[in-house]
Amino acid sequence: MKIDASTVVVITGASSGIGAECAVACAQKGASVVLVARIDAVATTHGHIDVLINNAGRGNHASVEDTPTTQWRSMFSVNVDSVFWLTSRALPLMKKADRGHIIAISSVAGRYGHPFNAAYVAAKHAVVGFIAALRTELVGTNVHATTICPAGVVTEWADATEGGSIGALYARAIPRSRMISREKGLGIAP
């Protein structure tokens, strides 16, 4: 989808990291970028949504036996439930406009397991599965769904985990993975 001055892009989790980079890139192309979780207000203000980037997320680093149920549920609430909720509200607007693109930022953890992160890995697998199912529902429409599964990304969260060793964790668990950062020229442009 072409991003320009007529495009309305809704991004969750845009205060830092991937979401912030997506917001800057879309704004530089002239899009109306809305950083909000209240999608109903976007519909009222702009009348349509062209792109929804589901980026809100959080992680944890704990063994299965050290992961409390509250942390497990929180992981699914932020990483999975928010994707469902926002997508289900954006879809009617996109279908009515006969155009749109729903993007979910998952993780390579949504494709591969790695140790001491079962809640995060399970949640990101759920995001991958949700978008795969949605994609089949959208066949024959002009609304598209994409999952992006980056490996480690240099963010405040990654820097705070295990003394900033998230890159080492991914390198051990996933062959040929490397940390993504804007400075290294490995960023993703929407």
Q: Which residues are catalytic?
A: 120
CB neighbour burial string for 38-63, b if at least 16 within 10 angstroms, e if fewer: ebeebbeeeebbbbbbbbbbebbbee
- Antiparallel, parallel or unpaired: β 8-11 and 51-54: parallel
DSSP, res 146: E
H/E segment holding residue 91 = helix 82-97
CA-derived radius of gyration, the chain: 17
